[in-house]
Amino acid sequence: MGSGLHRRHLLALAGAAAGGLARSARAESAPLRIGYQKSSVNLMVTRERRLLDAALPGTAVKWVEFPAGPQILEALAVGSLDFGFTGDTPPVFAQAAGKDIWYVGLEPPKPASSAILVPHDSSLRALADLKGRRIALQKGSSAHYLVLRALDAAGLQWSDITPLYLAPSDARAAFEKGALDAWGIWDPYYAAAQIDGRARVLATGQGLSSNNSFYLASRELTRRPELIEGLFAALSQADAWGKANLPRTARLLSDATGVPLAGTLRFLDRRISGPVTALKPSDIADQQRVADAFSRAGLIPRPPRVADAVWQP
Indicate if the pLDDT at residue 5 is higher than 60.
Answer: no
Percent of the chain with pLDDT over 90: 84
The structural domain count of the chain equals 2
Residue 8 CB neighbours (<10 A): 12
CA dihedral 109, 138, 141, 295 (to 10 degrees): 130
- pLDDT, tens digit, 9 for 90 and up, residues 208-241: 999 999 999 999 999 999 999 999 999 999 999 9
pTM of the model: 0.85
Beta strands in the chain (DSSP E): 32-36, 61-65, 83-86, 102-106, 114-119, 134-137, 162-165, 182-186, 199-204, 214-217
Q: Are residues 62 and 189 in the same domain?
A: no
In a domain, 23, yes or no: no
Which DSSP state fits 86?
E
In a domain, 90, yes or no: yes
- pLDDT, tens digit, 9 for 90 and up, residues 158-206: 999 999 999 999 999 999 999 999 999 999 999 999 988 789 999 999 9
Structural domain that includes position 120: 111-204
Decide: 128 and 212 in contact? Cβ < 8 Å.
no
Answer with the one of 187, 204, 221 that is the final residue of a domain.
204
Answer with the one of 158, 181, 204 that is the final residue of a domain.
204
CA distances from 134 to 58, 122, 189 (A): 50, 13, 19
Q: Are residues 105 and 221 in the same domain?
A: yes
Q: Are residues 97 and 151 in the same domain?
A: no
- pLDDT, tens digit, 9 for 90 and up, residues 24-76: 443 456 899 999 998 899 999 999 999 999 999 999 999 999 989 999 999 99
Q: Are residues 49 and 173 in the same domain?
A: no
